[in-house]
Every structure is written in structure tokens, then in C-alpha cells.
Amino acid sequence: MDFDQLLAEVGSFKKLFQLARENGVDVERQVELAFGAENRLFERAGFKVVKVDDGYAEITFPLSEDIKRRGNIVHGGIIMFAMDNTGGLAVMTRNEGNDQVTVELKANFLEPLKNGPFRTVGRVVRSGRNVAVAEMDVFDSEGKLCAKGMGTWFYIYR
């Protein structure tokens, strides 16, 4: 049974995560595989899902030629992609629906990302019936906060 079939059977992302944990499934690895299969950039950028918990997600990624721009720093689009995935994953753990879309995503780039590997942390700030808000932080290998983001996701019920 693939991810979409399992999701359809249990009815919501929130229930899917709860059942997976209760049954000893390596949620982080399964999410990493599902996200990588859905979007090749996730895999190409070297994203690894480190932790998924209630309202929380953490992803790491290395500095590589595939994600750098001039100046030997991570491209801003990759930073936004990291924040969208991490914040969205944190939101999924609270989503009573079976899909979601990013409605708004904003970021402040505080320091250039040049010392990898990097760590992106997403935390749900508020989750309602139809909309959730999360904040995301991106740190370099020295623990320095390099980017701060906030996003809004709309839950879909099918």
C-alpha cells in the first residue's frame, strides 16, 4: 500500500502520523521517501528528515554544488524550499484533512548559509479547522540562525 492509499484509508494526515508512531513505523524515513518521490528537488538537495513530532519537524541538508549560488552560499530559493517543506511537515501532524497547500510563505534572510550542514526547524504556532500557521528557523553548522520564516497552510478535506 502506497502513501496515498494509506492516507485515504485512515482519513487524515494527523491520524496517519499517530497510527504510524503507535505501530513502530520509522516516520522520519517514510516521510523522507514520500517527499523525495513526490519532488526530485527534495532528494537532489540532500534533504534528510531528522524529526517529526506533534506540531514539530526538523530537516537537515548539506552544502552542495546543486544548491549553491555565486559566492559559495545556498541559493535563497533552496532556503525557501527548506522552510516550506519543514513548516508544511510540522503542519501535517496537526492536519485533520487529507491534503494542504501553502497559502503564504515569507522569510527574512539574516546570514548567508555557507557553513553546512544546515538544520531547518518548523513549529506550528496555531492550527485551526482550516488554516495553520508555522514558524521556521534555518541554522548553519555552528548553530547560527541564518533565516527566519513564517508560513500559512490551508487544509483540504476530500
Mean pLDDT across 131-148: 98
Return the bridge partners of 148, or none.
108, 137
Query: How much is the pLDDT for 7?
Result: 78
- 67-121: pLDDT as tens digits: 999 999 999 999 999 999 999 999 999 999 999 999 999 999 999 999 999 999 9
Check residue 36 and give left, alpha or beta (phi > 0: left; psi -120 to 50: alpha): alpha
Q: What are phi and psi of 69, to 5 degrees?
A: -120, 180
Domain residues for 43?
Answer: 3-156
**pLDDT at residue number 11:** 87
Say what the pLDDT of residue 5 is: 74
Higher pLDDT, 7 or 20: 20
Give Cα separations from 11 to 35, 40, 82, 98 (angstroms).
19, 26, 27, 6
Cell numbers 513564517: residue: 150
Q: How many domains does the chain fold into?
A: 1
Torsion of CA 63, 66, 72, 74, to 10 degrees: -60
CA 12 to chain centre: 17
pLDDT of 23 above 70: yes
d(CA 7, CA 1): 10
**Residues of the chain above pLDDT 70, percent:** 98
The domain that holds 22 is classified in CATH as: 3.10.129.10
